[in-house]
Amino acid sequence: MTQKLCRKLLKNLTLGLALFGQPLLAVEDDQVNMLYDLNPPYFYVQEDGQLTGLSYRHVMSVMEKASLKVNWTQSNYLRLFRTIKNSAKPYCAAGYSQRPERLESAQIVAPFRTSSALYIATKASKKGLFQSYDTVEQVVAAQNLTGGFISGATYGGLIPDNHQAVTHNKIFVSGSDLDMARLVIYDRVDYVLLFKEQADYFRDTLKKGSDLIIVEALSKDLERQTYFYCSKNLDPMTVKKLKDAFAVKDSGKGF
């Protein structure tokens, strides 16, 4: 009996068992089903149609270390965790912060990325509005400036209570950080907040003549820890492979 067949038989033994009241589902042929939503620079499509991005490359490095294949499926930011929770097929997703409702839908396998340094994205014509502010906190608190924020995001604790759709000087919308940048371009808000890797991406990819700029003279750095999530019914053997691969990454060996 070949080693590959033995592994497959062992995985099939997990069918019918229960974990937290759910059947354990084996990954077919050492394959992990990954969900993603288009959100540059983490996940985006190149001109040749190939999926790429910071999170994409990070996931592929981990999967290579774990000797796992990947099946990518595009999803939507709003329904991604509902899919993980409700689908009979086990899914994983990478690069999302920890929230109670997400922990109800999925299990955290490992920490994924840490983002830091919040920047202000605004129009060049509005840069003067920010000259009297030294920190991101001051900008967010300013009553004369309207900011755009992703609903549910805390921005490293900067926005502790953001469940209202619109306030006096804040607009909360469901969408990606690229959607937030468009709010600035179309003059719906004065600014949005971006993490450094997002600011670098927009700076590098904006067309010449664009009025969108990044204000970098704000001193406060706010960390955002994100995680690698998987369905709670993903078989333990695959979960262990993923945990071991992330442990190698965190040790600085092999990545």
Q: What are phi and psi of 30, to 5 degrees?
A: 55, 45
Looking at the fold, whether 245 and 212 belong to one and the same domain comes out as: no
**Token pair recorded at residue 179:** 């959607």
How many Cβ atoms sit within 10 Å of the Cβ of residue 187? 12
Contacts of 168 (CB under 8 A, 6+ apart): 143
Is 186 part of a structural domain of the chain?
Answer: yes
Phi and psi torsions of 122, nearest 5°: -145, -175
Give the total number of structural domains in the chain: 2
* Residue 58 is assigned to a structural domain of this protein: yes
Residue 5 is which amino acid?
A: L
Residues 106 and 35 in one domain: yes
Q: Are residues 123 and 218 in the same domain?
A: yes
- pLDDT above 60 (res 23): no
User: For the ranges 48-52, 108-112, 250-254, which has the lowest average pLDDT?
Assistant: 250-254
Within this chain, do residues 210 and 229 fall inside the same structural domain, yes or no? no
pTM of the model: 0.73
pLDDT for res 16: 38
Same domain, 39 and 95: yes
More confident residue, 178 or 217: 178
Q: What do you get for the CA distance between the two ends of the chain, in Å?
A: 34
> Is there a single domain that holds both residue 161 and residue 242?
no
* Angstrom distances, CA of residue 142 to CA of 87, 129, 138, 153, 199: 44, 10, 6, 19, 22
72 and 125 share one domain = no
Residues 134 and 175 in one domain: yes
Tell me: pLDDT of 19 over 80: no
- Alpha-carbon gap, residue 251 to 255, rounded angstroms: 9
State the angle between helix axes of 236-251 and 54-66 in degrees (0 to 180), rounded to the nearest 10: 110
- Report the CATH number that the domain containing residue 48 is assigned in CATH: 3.40.190.10
Q: Render 61-92 in DSSP notation, one character per residue.
A: HHHHHHT-EEEEEE--TTTHHHHHHH-SS--E
**Type of residue numbered 141:** A
Cα 8 → chain centroid: 32
Q: pLDDT per residue over 104-156, tens digit each?
A: 999 999 999 876 667 888 888 888 888 888 878 888 888 889 988 887 677 76
**Domain annotation covers residue 4:** no
Which comes out higher in pLDDT, residue 148 or 71? 71
Query: How crowded is residue 240: how many other Cβ atoms within 10 Å of its Cβ?
Result: 12
Helix or strand (DSSP H, E) at 181: helix 177-185
Q: Are 224 and 195 in contact (CB under 8 A)?
A: yes
Note whether residue 8 is domain-resident.
Answer: no
- Asked whether residue 7 is domain-assigned, the answer is no
**Would 2 be classed as within a structural domain?**
no
Do 211 and 230 lie in one domain? The reply is no
Q: Residue 75 is part of which domain span?
A: 13-114+225-251
Does residue 175 fall inside a structural domain? yes
